[in-house]
Structure 1
Amino acid sequence: MELDDAYANAAHIAGAEAFPSRWAAEARAFRERLGPRAACGIAYGAGERQVYDLFQPEQDPSGTVIFIHGGYWLDFDRSFWSHLAGGPLARGWAVAMPSYDLCPQVPIAGITRQIAQAVQHVAARTKGPISITGHSAGGHLAARMLDAGLISMDVARRLAAVVPISPISDLRPLMRTSMNADLGLDDAAARAESPIFMRDRHKASVAVWVGAEERPVFLDQARWLADAWGAELVVVPERHHFDVIDALSDPDSRLIGRLTGLP
C-alpha cells in the first residue's frame, strides 16, 4: 500500500536481518548473568503473554524503569530486550519489561489497557519513582500511559520521566499500510489511540528520543509528539531505528540520565 515503504525499517537498515537473533542472544545471556536478580514471568493479567520480567540492582533500588517493547503491536515479546536493562541497573534502578497480547488477537486499544495494568502491577510491587520508556510501538504505549484515564493518580504521582523512543504518535498514517489488515484501525480508533490527540494527561517530565538516521516518517512522528506536548526532542546522531535503543544498556548515556534523573 501507499505508505508500506515509508514505515519499513528493516528494508533500509544494513544487516537488519541479524538484529533479532542478536537481541535474543544478548538478552538470554544477560538474564543468565543476573541469576536470582531476574524474576521472570510475573503475571499482571490472565493471558499467557500478560507477564513481565523484573530485574533488580545489587542494592535496594532507587526507582524503577519500565521498558515497553516495539514490533508494530504485531511482533516480539519481553525476552528480546533484557540486556537493555543494563543501564538503569548500573545506576541502581530496577527494570520491568512486560509482554502483551498482539494484534490481530486484540486491538491496539486493548494492548494499551494491558500495559496500563502492567504499570499498576509493577507500581504495587515496587517503591520510589517510576520512569516509563518504550521503543517504536512501545514508544506509543509509553506515551499513552500519561492518559489520565489509564493509570491511577497514586501511580502518576510517582512518575519521574516518560521517554518515548522513536514513537508512533499519530496512528492515522498506518491505515495506509498493509499492516492495517492486522491492526484493524479506522479513523476513530486511530485518533483515540494517537498520543498527539491526548489532552487530559498526567503531568510528568517528557522527552522524545529518535535516531537521526531513521526513516523520515519516524523523525516526523517524534517531532509531532514533541510539538503537540511541548516536550523536549532529542535527535541522536548516527543512530537508526534498530540501534537507537542501545543507549539503554549504557549507564553513562544521556538517555539513562534522563530516565533516572542522574547526570
Structure 2
Amino acid sequence: MTQAGNEVLYEVVDGHIAVITLNRPEVRNAVNGVVANALEAAAKQAEADPNIRVGILTSSLDKVFSAGADLAEISAGRGNTLSTKDGGFAGFVELKRDKPWIAAVEGAAFAGGCEIVLSCDMIVASENARFGLPEVKRGLFAGAAGVYRLPRRLPRNIGIELVATGDGLDAQRAYALGFANRMTPPGGALNAAIELAKAIAVNAPMSVRESIAIARQSQDLDEGELAKLSRSAAGRVFSSEDSREGPRAFLEKRAPVWKGQ
C-alpha cells in the first residue's frame, strides 16, 4: 500500500483562494486511496475555512491533469479505496461543497480525471488540454458522474456523442462550446484560474454561495421550485450584515469589508 506523502498539496493565495494541487507525477496523478483521502481532506479544509472564498483544483504536471483511477490499485483488488464515503471517487466528485470551485487544466483529463474536472463549477483550460471519457473503448463505464455531467456541460447531442464514442475534446473546441470558461497558452491555466477566482473573491461570500447554490440546480428543477429556493436564499442574504455593508461602501466610495455573514 502506498504511504501518504505529498500527493495532494494545499496553498492559500491572496488570502481567500485555496489552490489544491494533484501531485503524483510518477503515475500521471492517478487516483489511489491516498490521493482520494488527501483530496477529500483538502477540499473539506477549504470549505471549512471562513477566509477561503474560492477553491482551485490543478495539477503539478504540464502534460496531464489526472489519468483517473489507478489501474494498479484496481487490479490488486483495492478499487474500493479510490472512493471515500463523503466524497465518492477521488474524495471529490460527490463531496458537498458550498463555495465555487475552478479546475485549472493543463494537458490530458481523461476518464476519472475528466470526471474530477466535471465536478468543478468552472474550467480554465490551456491550449494543450484535452478532455474525454474513453471508458467505452475499454468495455468500462464512467461511473463517477461523467456520463450525465458531460452532456449537461455541453450541447446535449455533442455530450452524448462523446460519451458514446469515447473520443476526446480538445481545448479549442471545449472553449468554443462553452465547456471551458477561459483558454490560455500552455502553462497559463493556473494563473488565469487565480485571476478568475480573484474576480469572485472580491464579492460578498454569502451572496456568492447562495447564488451558486441556486445556479447549480438550474438544469435540474422547474421554475416554481427554483423560485421558491430563490426566495429563501434572498431572505438569508438580505438579512445579513454584508447586505448592509455593500450599499454603504458604494455610497461611501470605498471597497466593502465583507464579514461573510
- For Structure 1 versus Structure 2, the TM-score category normalised by the shorter chain is 0.3 to 0.5
Structure number with greater CO (CA < 8 Å, separation at least 6) is 1
TM-score by length of 1: 0.35
TM-score by length of 2: 0.35
Larger CA Rg, structure 1 vs 2 = 2
